[in-house]
Amino acid sequence: MPLGTLDRSPPSFFKQGPSALSKLMFFSALALFLMVADTRFRITQPVRAVLATALYPVQWLALQPVRAVRGTSEYFTSLSQANSSSEEARKKLALQSLRAGQVEQLLQENDRLRKLLGLREQLATSVMAAEVLYDAADPYTRKVIIGKGMLQGVDLGSPVLDEAGVLGQVTRVHPLVSEVTLVNDRDLAIPVLNARTGARSVAYGDPSAGGSGLELRFMGSNSDVKEGDLLTTSGVDGVYPPGLPVAKITRIERRAESAFAKIYCTPQALVTAARHVMVVKPVSGQIPPRPEATAEAPVAGKKGAAR
């Protein structure tokens, strides 16, 4: 065969298209264009939605073993937690039953002792439920606004409680709302009683930068106080009923150069998270009035002066 008749073109298997650099540049530009277009115009959102819908059955089937294993582990974990919670509830119920019996016995003994000593009955206080609406606008005070006011029978000076203890005192009454000053406000003071020792003192709102607690002032350095002591209302101020939890002592600083100890307390009430509260009538209306000086007293004073 003559050489001129041979086909010198390469077979189709060895034919080459554009160069690798050209392909890299083209596909890089295409990827960059698609990214910009997707970011600005979200042109691939319908495509993604269609793909996600089409792939959902596959994803669902792939997740079933994982969900089965997770559900089994959660079942056994929940069962264990339920058993432990049930056991704790039984213990608490037994303890509460024991305490309820003791409280009933103590109430009967208290009633008999009061009758024996001729003491007056304990004060019966009436309460009213209210809801905390919002905090006061002044950031330098610790006050909240409740949704009950003068028209609902709220009195000025009424104690306010939550489920844990004394929250504060009503310091301003409007027709439909009332302002409550919290126990950690620097302008509020509460006569308290140490439940362990029976010593009376006064708890003031902490005026420090944090302002989240209370402080017992004018307590001697050698006073019998310990961290963890519970402070309750003493009832001697004619405002708060006795025995309401107020705070717990958390820190005591005794200094040699000072005759008084610095005693810091944490409120029992949820001063930053209270939502529903109880407004208590002040006990001052149930206490007999202070006896006034009789007409004979000045006469006796004059006789003594004449002598």
pLDDT tens digit string along 61-110? 888 888 888 888 888 788 778 888 888 888 888 888 777 777 777 877 87
pLDDT band with cut points at 50, 70 and 90 for residue 166: very high
- Name 286's Cβ contacts closer than 8 Å, sequence gap at least 6: 123, 124, 125
* For residue 118, pLDDT beyond 70: no
CATH number, domain containing residue 256: 2.40.10.350
Among 118, 139, 156, the domain boundary falls at 118
pLDDT of residue 246: 94
- 114 and 55 in one domain? yes
Element (H, E) at 74: helix 45-117
- Name 132's Cβ contacts closer than 8 Å, sequence gap at least 6: 144, 145, 146, 147, 274, 275, 276, 277
Rg of the chain over Cα atoms, rounded to whole angstroms, equals 39
What percentage of the chain carries pLDDT values higher than 70? 83
Q: Give dist(CA 265, CA 263) in Å, integer.
A: 7
* For residue 7, pLDDT beyond 60: no
* For residue 134, pLDDT beyond 50: yes
User: Within a domain: residue 305?
Assistant: no
Q: What is the mean pLDDT of the chain?
A: 81
Work out the average pLDDT over 141-150.
91
- 231 and 268 in one domain? yes
pLDDT band with cut points at 50, 70 and 90 for residue 292: low
- 221 and 151 in one domain? yes
Among 118, 152, 175, the domain boundary falls at 118
- 131 and 111 in one domain? no
pLDDT of residue 286: 58
- 151 and 74 in one domain? no
231-267 exposure pattern, b = at least 16 Cβ within 10 A, e = fewer: bbbbbebebbbeebbbbbbeebeeeeeeeebebbbeb
* For residue 122, pLDDT beyond 60: no
Q: Give dist(CA 167, CA 270) in Å, integer.
A: 7
- pTM of the model as a whole: 0.57
* For residue 294, pLDDT beyond 50: no
Among 98, 118, 138, the domain boundary falls at 118
- 114 and 132 in one domain? no
- 260 and 164 in one domain? yes
User: Within a domain: residue 306?
Assistant: no
Segment of 2-11, 247-256, 294-303 carrying the highest mean pLDDT: 247-256
- 55 and 114 in one domain? yes
User: Within a domain: residue 290?
Assistant: no
Work out the average pLDDT over 33-53.
79
- 141 and 258 in one domain? yes
- 230 and 98 in one domain? no
- 242 and 167 in one domain? yes
What are phi and psi for residue 28, nearest 5 degrees? Answer: -65, -45
Q: Which residue has the higher pLDDT, 44 or 176?
A: 176
User: Within a domain: residue 137?
Assistant: yes
Q: Give dist(CA 30, CA 20) in Å, integer.
A: 15
Q: Do residues 277 and 162 lie in contact, with contact meaning Cβ atoms separated by under 8 Å? A: yes
Question: How many residues make up the chain in this entry?
Answer: 307
User: Within a domain: residue 243?
Assistant: yes
* For residue 302, pLDDT beyond 50: no
- Domain span at residue 178 reads 127-285
pLDDT of residue 295: 45
- 102 and 28 in one domain? yes
Q: What's the domain count of the chain?
A: 2
Strand locations in 189-283, DSSP E?
189-194, 200-205, 214-220, 230-233, 245-253, 260-267, 276-280
User: Within a domain: residue 294?
Assistant: no
* For residue 42, pLDDT beyond 80: no
pLDDT band with cut points at 50, 70 and 90 for residue 16: low
Work out the average pLDDT over 52-56.
80
* For residue 255, pLDDT beyond 60: yes
Q: Which residue has the higher pLDDT, 226 or 212?
A: 226
